[in-house]
Amino acid sequence: MWVGNVPGDASLNELYTFFGQGPPMPEEERKAMESAEFHEEMLPQIEGVGGLSGVISVFLISRSNCAFVNYVSEACLHRGVEYFNGRPLRSSQVDPRCPKLVCRVRKKGDDIKAGVGGQRGVGTHTRWVKEKKAAAAKPPMEDGIADPGHSAHDRPPFVRGGAGGNVKKSSSGSSGSYASTNSGMLSKYFPIRYFILKSLTQHDLDLSVERGLWATQTHNQEVLDQAYRTSQTVYLIFGVNKSGEFFGYAKSPSTPSGSSPAPGGSQQGRWGTPFKVKWIRTNPLSFQRTRHLRNPWNHDREIKVSRDGTEVEPGVGQRLLEEWDRPEPAAPTSRTGAPKSPTTFSGPPSPVQSRGRGRGRGAMGSGWPQRDTGQ
């Protein structure tokens, strides 16, 4: 359930308590769910806060004054929408100016549109090729003055690290993966593709560095699989939610639709098959150093404003990776010429340099970590 008009100072505990006081599940419905095998892993959550009303989790987005409430069943979801829509989070005695909540059922396709799926079916790649052809056909400007409409991100991408060779062919086992009628166009004009992937925690990424594996949402996997099969190189740029920086980037050396077995803790249906990744950089890149980069394939927003699975325009993606190779900016100095404070930068990073934060704290769990849903 999507919830709008959430007060900016609302806390997660307040939302849990509020939505947990919704209409309870009928006894027959509760017994039926408790007897279902697929529901065993969810039973402990039902016994907690909001269990009687079917609330299993709440996700608060304070900066957008909204929240997402996940219910254990479709019936509980619709009861919650009907009950909470139009109700204020706080009583008039506590907060007379508290607005009424707006509650809606979030459509199943919204998750897909929030990531790579939002870039499908709108002719992004075809339009990009046409624009490049049109720009190449223009006569050069006189006196060596560059065309003001030809931005720096229009430069053709290059293959980093010597990657090259023939475009990968689809294997017999990938017949079920996402395919496109314009695969020939993608192979010709997009030898390199760049994607932003998000994680809820750095620990998940530390596990990926250790194991050389990653798993993404199923709708992202289809697009990444197509990119692997039609391109020479696929770069995956990773970030941790609310960290203020990119974690690092890796290559995808194998198709995400491969046959690697999923770890025991992975969730079936929501996450795709874990696939191999070859990490190139794991040192942080602050968003302060990427403020000049905007992604025209994401409404020209800053590159840091990306959903899980967002594809980056090739020229901008290339420039983003180049930022890891640039020297760190010098520390600011005071009027006396002395540094204002010790800098945290340690010079140009070396390939596959581990940040060390969150690592080496004991044995890793056997379960596969949770990935960001892109909400």
Q: What is the per-residue pLDDT across 279-314, written as a single tens digit (0 to 9) for each?
A: 999 999 999 999 999 999 988 889 998 888 899 999
Confidence of residue 366 (pLDDT cuts 50, 70, 90): very low
Cα–Cα distance, 214 to 256 (Å, whole number): 9
pLDDT for the residue 282? 95
Residue showing tokens 């199923």: 218
Q: How many CA atoms lie within 13 A of 234 on its CB side?
A: 27
Superfamily of domain 2-106: RRM (RNA recognition motif) domain (3.30.70.330)
* Residue that wins the pLDDT comparison between 350 and 314: 314
Q: Tell whether the torsion through CA atoms of 182, 185, 191 and 193 is positive or negative.
A: negative
Q: 0.75 cut: is pTM over it?
A: no
Contacts of residue 7, Cβ cutoff 8 Å, sequence gap at least 6: 65, 89, 90, 95, 98, 99
List the beta bridge partners of residue 58: 69
Decide yes or no: CATH 3.30.70.270 for domain 116-131+152-323. Answer: no
Domain boundaries, the chain: 2-106, 116-131+152-323
* Residue that wins the pLDDT comparison between 62 and 46: 62
Cα–Cα distance, 309 to 298 (Å, whole number): 11
pLDDT for the residue 4? 94
Q: To 5 degrees, how large is the angle CA 20–CA 204–CA 295?
A: 90
pLDDT for the residue 221? 84
- 141-188 per-position pLDDT tens digit: 655 444 444 444 444 444 454 444 444 544 433 333 334 446 788 889
pLDDT for the residue 163? 40
- Closest residue by Cα to residue 255 from 240, 276, 285: 276
pLDDT for the residue 112? 55
